[in-house]
Structure 1
């Protein structure tokens, strides 16, 4: 009985957050992390406008124009991994401080680039900062109670779509009057907003617990309780590793001893947590299957997302011949460019709404797999000639589904990893997934240039079908589950 009473006087971070609910504190965290997501959308979407302007201003070739975007994506490949390792080793706040400083400063400096080479170099460094942007989403998710975690994460991703629309409007207002340099400078402003409010941001209590700093985590939880006008559970905060990652501990009794011996775990975690340990955790018996499945799902999502954009560019403008597809893609009509970005961005709102409705009702695996298969169903008829209105509708629906799948994927991924390796796992997975965005134009544009529209649609549908089936192979569903 004494042992039972002692156990009842302990609570976890999830217990506290579930009791306190989603209140004023989480709203402020959402506003800050959402600003970071807007900042990332600004820097990505401006590539649609700056490339053609630089080509006209400096007389560079179409290939050199495309290399500006490639430099950013190459930086993001490295930055995703680096940001994850930094956030798991030194804290979430250090992770998103890295992305704000690097993206903001070098984004502003790129506005003063004297030549093409310096612009290319500076945009690569901006990509390093952008790649670490996923730390903001994992930081936010670690403050959200389990009950509505999926829905609130989808709300968080609305900030990305808002950012793309705001960037298009900013470009529409600035580019014709002031030019591309002013657009680069003004687009870095949200990053400096992150730096202004950075001193007010708290560290994640989950991260602090994973490092053995339960007293510091308790202070933050008490702050959440005051702002949400609630009270913490009775007892002492304890760090409890999830059961599914405890296979190496031996017996359940061993795991129980570790949970109860809080001082011992604090010393052990604080001494052993490092980038290497976080990386090694991805290959543990319990996580290796999920890691490999996530790699494929990310590749499929990025490949399809950009494939749908390429199809939209080719099919939505009344083009029914396949000549000069690459020229059309690389040099879009300037008068329609802002409108195209606005319209395609608006297509993402229904996808986010669909994800919000499904993710906490039918679960992550079903909602993600279902939307991937639906996207394939909407793309399939595009292999034949159709009326312009029907083509636009099908492309709109496909964009809706792939965006919804992306939103659920960004909810599901950080839930699968423990706090000690969460950002490392998300960073590496996201980095490898971006290979899909590099391969997609090579495959889809190559097929369209060869007048093989049916083959292009078939490739997209095949990838979507395999990804939809893969979703059923994940070992566990995280809907409503506590995370570490």
Structure 2
């Protein structure tokens, strides 16, 4: 950054992400999605490939979705095979699937009585996560710029290059243990408990920064806060797809992520604007409120998804314990 400038930094940072394009063509489609779309032959092909890679074989039987099973149970026709669909039932299946897809109709499904609580809480958590995560990234450089006290804007702009990159690197490195903590706790403690605990612990780490602290303590507190917010951001991307059925899963997660981006756009006004305006206390307090409220919303999520079976449609049972 000091030698080449931000443009070269941005260009070099984008190179690792471009490597992901290589894997796009070899990434298999979701079998659940293919099954729900009625493309069971393609779903079986994907499952057979997975089985071969794991050195096993698929169990015997016919591949059907939860939605197809519900339609068969409702038909109450003993002449129909339990594992096969008649043309009438298959047409009804596709009609039911089509009613669950599409932009506007999917949004209405997300705000339906069965999903509205989860959807609204998830929007708040995504907003709080993005607001806090990107805000802490900016605070890391703002609070490690070599100025322990607030200065007038003109003088501060002249000293804007005096960023302690060693401390910025230390605080940024916190994302690595944050990912490890998320991986270690998400299946042991559950999604809700691990996410809420990290939110509240992040509040604890940020609280002393309401007042100006020594450089070393500031770096340590930011290190702890970024560990926590990285863990919550990782866990929410695991939890979010699990609370939605397959028919609206990508729409639900996509809209929630978009709401989070709004938080990411607003955070510079706090992380940079308030700190530059000599309002570090107000800035930290605002982060505390957003993070704490996000943690409360996690506690209010209607159910824990750890060990629960994914559903294909809104009417499918969400609370069936996954079989061993």
Do both proteins adopt the same fold according to a TM-score greater than 0.5, normalized to the shorter chain? yes
How far apart, in 2, do the equivalents of 1:321 and 1:205 lie? 57
Counterpart CA distance in 2 for 1:242 and 1:472 is 34
| RMSD across aligned positions (CA) | 3.4
Residues 68 and 93 of structure 2 are in contact (CA less than 8 Å); yes or no, is this contact kept in structure 1? no
Matched residues in 2 for 1:306 and 1:424: separation? 24
Could you report, residue by residue, the CA deviation over 1:335-358 in whole angstroms, capped at 9, with x for unpaired residues? Answer: 865x56643431101111111111
Q: Give distance in 1, aligned partners of 2:308 and 2:117.
A: 19
**356 and 409 in structure 1: CA distance in 2 versus 1, 3 angstrom threshold:** same
Q: Is the 8 A contact 1:52 1:331 kept in 2?
A: no
Distance 1:482 1:50 in 2: 53
Structure 1 length normalisation: TM-score? 0.56
Which residue of 212, 216, 223 maps to 1:385? 212
Secondary structure, counterpart of 1:200 in structure 2: coil
Residue 319 of structure 2: aligned partner: none
Report whether the alignment pairs 1:439 with 2:266.
yes
Structure (1 or 2) with the greater helix fraction: 1
CA contact (8 A) 1:210 1:269 kept: no
The corresponding residue for 1:223 is: 49
Report which stretch shifted further, 271-280 or 393-402.
271-280
Equivalences for residues 32-431 of structure 1 within 5 A: 52-53=5-6, 175=8, 184=11, 187-188=14-15, 190-191=17-18, 193-241=19-67, 254=74, 262=85, 263-264=90-91, 266-269=93-96, 271-272=98-99, 273-323=101-151, 333=161, 342-431=169-258
Q: Does the CA-based 8 Å contact 2:132-2:291 persist in structure 1?
A: yes
**Which position in structure 2 is the counterpart of 1:95?**
none
Query: Is the contact between residue 375 and residue 401 of structure 1 (CA under 8 Å) also seen in structure 2?
Result: yes
- Corresponding position: 1:477 with 2:304: yes
Cα 1:434/1:186, change in 2 over 3 Å: closer
Comparing 372-381 with 434-443, greater Cα deviation is found at 434-443
**Unaligned regions of 5+ residues in structure 1, if any?**
1-47, 55-174
Deviation of 1:385 after TM superposition, in Å, equals: 3.2
Q: Residues 277 and 433 from structure 1, CA distance in 2 versus in 1: closer, same or farther, beyond 3 angstroms?
A: same
Aligned residue for 1:161?
A: none
- Distance apart, 1:230 and its partner CA: 1.0
Largest Rg, 1 or 2: 2
* Partner Cα distance (2:125, 2:157) in 1: 26
What is the CA-CA distance between 1:433 and the residue it aligns to? 1.1
Q: Quick one: structure 1 residues 234 and 325, their matched pair in 2 at CA, closer, same or farther if it must change by over 3 Å?
A: farther
Distance 1:325 1:204, change over 3 A: farther
Structure 2 contact 135–268 (Cα < 8 Å) conserved: yes
Q: Does 1:450 align with 2:277?
A: yes
